[in-house]
Structures are given as structure tokens and as C-alpha cells.
Structure 1
Amino acid sequence: MIRLITALFCLSTWCMPAAAQQYTTANAHSHNDYEHAAPFRNAFARSFGSIEADVYERNGELFVAHDSFRITPERTLRALYLTPLQQAIREKGDSLRPLQLLIDLKSAGERTLQTLVHQLKQFPEITGNPKIRLVISGSMPAPEKWAQYPSFIWFDGRPTLTYTDDQLARVALISDSFSRYAKWDGKGTPGNEEELRIRTVIGKVHGMNKPFRFWGTPDNITTWDVMMKLGVDYLNTDKIDALADYLEKR
């Protein structure tokens, strides 16, 4: 019975990639994607499974930036991500690969999320596409308020929180800071105690049937190899082409 349930779960579009035998760019997460010369487009062209954008709300508009002082009028979520994603959906049709767009709220959470929901409703091709997951991270509302938001909104969970069954059903993935578990710098291998802490949190999350991501990991081949060995589901990177090239050659 357990095997049957697992098989049926893995037939869905969003089967958890945990302990994947073969990692691909579907396991790659473009961290701070907007810092690249071609936001969205480069990571999407390399078939990344997850793309991240930080947003600030200002006067009803959402701006993409890492810091508020770097906001510029033309760099909006709509221009850099939503419109290109809508175009990609139209162009790809049934060949569209599953994509997680992780939107990290940098300004006041509830107001920013309300603005985001209002804007997303103008893109029904995105919100109604089962291959697209819109995941909220950063300044998220408390889990008990998640039910107030449309079903096309998912959330980035934390392993330190306890969720009700209904709340957990809205969690797309679970993430945490690498520095909470290790001080490893990406050279050699993590120490035994660090590796145990890493394995423990990954095992906990996989026990919840959710994929796991670290942010703040070292960003090199050694680290990518270690993260794959330990079962991290999304490889966090600022090096889109380097990681894509590496995964494609494995």
C-alpha cells in the first residue's frame, strides 16, 4: 500500500525530488536571479527548476532589488518576471517544464503579498498553470493566515516550525540558512558533526514529504557534489551557467 501511494505521488507534476539518483537543472535554484544580466531568461533557458526574485512594495508596485536603495523604476516584478514568464508559457505550450518562482518579500509581508496577489490575478496563464508554482518566502505572513490567500500562492517553510496539516499542504518546499548547521567553507568535506546536522534536517524535511533547500551555501563544484550526496533537493547558486554546465556533463 505504501509503495502504491508513493508511486501515485510521484506521478504528479510536483513529485518531491528528494534523493534523486540523477540531478539535473530541475534541481537548480537561481538565487538572487535578478542580479544577472538577463533576469529570468538565463535561468529559464538553462531549464532551472527554481528561480528567485526579491521584491519591495512601493505605492502599489513591486520592484525587484536586493536592497531598497537599489530600486529603479524599470525593474519591476511585472517587467522582469511575470511578463517574460507569461510569454514563455505561450511559446512552450505543453512542452513547458515545471518551474518554481520563489518570490522573497523584502518589505512588510502582508501588504506586499496583497499587492502581489492583486498583480498575479492579471496573469491567469501563470496562476492557472499546474506547471508553475508561485512560492512566497522572506517576510511571510504567519502560517495561520495562509488560508486567506488564493490557492495559487504557496509558501517556503522552515524546519524549525510546526505546521498543521492544512498549513503543510500550502508548503512547496522547506528552506534554511546553511550557517545554522555548518561553518564549512566549501573546501574538502564538512566535519562529521556538521554532516550529521545537515543529514538530520534533510531527513526531517523528507519525512514531511517536502523538498529541501539551503541558502547561503558555498557556491562551487565541491559544495554542489556534497549537497547532492547528502540529498539536498534544490542546489542554491549565483552561478547559473557554471552549475548548469556541471550538471549537464555529469
Structure 2
Amino acid sequence: MTFPSRRRAIGAAAVLAAGLAGASALPARASSASSGGNAVPLRRAHAHNDYEHDRPLHDALAHGFTSVEADIWLRDGQLLVAHDEWELDPSRTLEALYLDPLLARVRANHGRVYQGYEVSLQLLIDIKNTGEATYRELSRRLRPYHALFSKAIGGRVHTRAVTAVISGDRAARGPMEAERIRHTFYDGRLDDLLAAPPAPASFIPLISSNWNTSFTWQGIGPMPAAERELLRRITGTAHARGQRVRFWATPDQPGPAREAVWRELVAADVDHLNTDDLAGLAAFLRADDPDAEAP
């Protein structure tokens, strides 16, 4: 299959099957936690730059988000969470903001992020510097949490409470592919969807793309027919390969233009809608997406 050369950005993410590991398999360090309320999970809701909210992770889960994004930097042997290097704070580690709270929540919810729902939370980890070295450190630091994370062995995926997808610096791909047992998955790009043969969904569960690389429409007036057809061709190709679709840099200012783009994304069955406005997207999906809720 070919796509117009000026549009080389196909966002896709592999189908992350439902199912969670039992709480008894989790380390004892997560001895106390709240289940985080009774929000109904929203299968399309992705918290872009989640760590910039007042309560990283917790605010997204309170709104029912099923995918959250954390940018990490390797600094002095620690994995610190921030968008820009000047914002690095040694207290804001990946463990403190995400891994330990998730572990505690899953124990409290008997093996699930959302009690009563068979949904695996996608933790999109964006590597900001020294891709290979950062990934190796990340892989090492995930070991105490292995019971929490989905894994791939020989092309077979075993889904657990959280699925870690690695984005950002592309140098991480080499050491990931070399792992015999992986507790991470790779965030691909349009070229990965177009590759012949394509990498399997068991390795690339998510191919993310910049909306503005593929589309000119920003929600003003009707979406051009050719762009609507391209969007649906992208999602159709990804879904046929067992992958999911996500675009970043979609309009995110409240108003009719943003909602028009979101409606087209839902109509095309795009899997993850990207936002910094947790309440805004949650309200939109509950009102306008007939398939909003996760199973």
C-alpha cells in the first residue's frame, strides 16, 4: 500500500489486549494505596505530557484516561521526568511519579489499574536524551516492577495491568530488539507502517505521528475529502495489522475547531486522542463517542 508522499505520518498503536496480572505477583513495596476513585475508563483518552498536571498520573486516572505520557531524561544515573532539560528535578523520578503509584494502585485494585475493568493502561515513555543508554537504564529499573508490565516473548504478548511503550530517541530500538524477554514495546512512525515487511505488532504496538505532517485541516470548515479518506486508510491499514493509531499536535485549544477534529478522529476510529485538557477530552468522549468506555 502507498500513501501520498507529502503525508508520511501514520500514527498507529498495536492492539493492547485486556487482562491483568494478579495482585499476589506484585512486590511487597506497594503495601498501601487508594484505588483512585471510580472513574469509568475511556479507551481513546491519552494524556499528553501528563507529568505537567498538578497530580501526575492521578489526575489522568481520575478522568478515566487509559494512556499517559511521561518524558524521561537520564541524569546522574536517575530517570527524571520533565519536558525540557532545564526543568529537571531530582525528586521527580520515573519511579516516584509513575512506577510506585501504579504498583500501589494495582495492588489495591487486585491486579487492575481500574477496578472491575479489564484494561491495560498504556504508559508512553518518551526518551529525551542518550537513547540507547537511557533505554538500558530504563530496562534495568523496570525489573523490580516486571509483574506490573505486559511482556513479549518470542513474538507472543502477555498482557498485564500496564503496557510500557517507548517513544522518543530512536536509538532505543536496537537494545529493545535484542532483548529475548521484553517488558517494553516500541512506538513506531509512518515509515514503520509502510516498511516491507513491517515489524510485528508484538514489537511495535504504537506508531505515533504528527498531525501537521499528514494533514492541513485544523478543524475550520469541513475536512477535505482527500484528507478524510487518507485518515481512514491509515487507521484501516494499522488495524489490519493489529496496531493502534495516535496523532500528536492536533488542535487542543477549547472550541469548535478542536471538537471538529476530535469528531473526525472518532469517526475514523483513531485509537488515542491526544490532549493536555483532561476534563475537556473526557467530557467530549462521554458525550460524543458511542464507544468511549473501555471494556
Is TM > 0.5 for Structure 1 vs Structure 2? yes
TM-score interval for Structure 1 and Structure 2 normalised by the shorter chain? 0.7 to 0.9
Aligned to 2:104: 87
State whether structure 2 residue 140 is matched by structure 1 residue 115.
Answer: no
Asked whether the 8 Å contact 2:207–2:245 carries over to 1, the reply is yes
**Aligned position for 2:149:** 127
Deviations 1:186-209 (CA, angstroms, capped at 9, x unpaired): 233322232233222222212222
Residues 1:156 and 2:161 aligned together: no
Cα pair 2:70 2:81 within 8 Å, conserved: yes
- Kept in 1: contact 2:188–2:204 (CA 8 A): yes
Q: Which moved more, 1:152-161 or 1:120-129?
A: 120-129
In the alignment, does 2:231 pair up with 1:214? Answer: no
Greater alpha carbon shift after TM alignment, 93-102 vs 209-218? 93-102
- For residues 166 and 43 of structure 1, the distance between their equivalents in structure 2, rounded to whole angstroms, comes to 31
In the alignment of these two chains, the number of paired residues is 232
Q: Partners in 2 of 1:11 and 1:133 — Cα distance? A: 8
The one-letter code of the counterpart of 2:220 is K
Amino acid in the other structure paired with 1:242: G
Structure with bigger helix share is 1
State how far apart, in whole Å, the 2-side matches of 1:236 and 1:26 are: 12
Q: Larger deviation: 68-77 or 166-175? A: 166-175
Letter in 2 for 1:31: H
One-letter amino acid of the counterpart of residue 134, structure 1: A
28-37 or 72-81: which moved more? 72-81
Q: CA RMSD in A?
A: 2.3
Q: TM-score, normalised by structure 1?
A: 0.84
Say which structure, 1 or 2, has more relative contact order (CA 8 Å, 6+ apart): 2
* Change in 2 beyond 3 A, CA 1:120/1:144: closer
Letter in structure 1 aligned against 2:249: G
1:144 Cα offset (Å)? 5.3
Shift of 1:235: 0.8
The one-letter amino acid of 1:226's match is E
List alignment gaps of at least 5 residues for structure 2: 1-14, 20-40, 114-118, 151-158, 253-257, 289-295
Q: Percent identity?
A: 35
Indicate the residue corresponding to 1:13 in structure 2: 18
Amino acid of the structure 1 residue aligned with 2:97: L
Aligned residue in 2 for 1:21: none
For residue 182 of structure 1, what is the aligned residue in structure 2?
215
Residue 63 of structure 2 corresponds to which residue in structure 1? 46
Relative to the length of structure 2, the TM-score reads 0.72
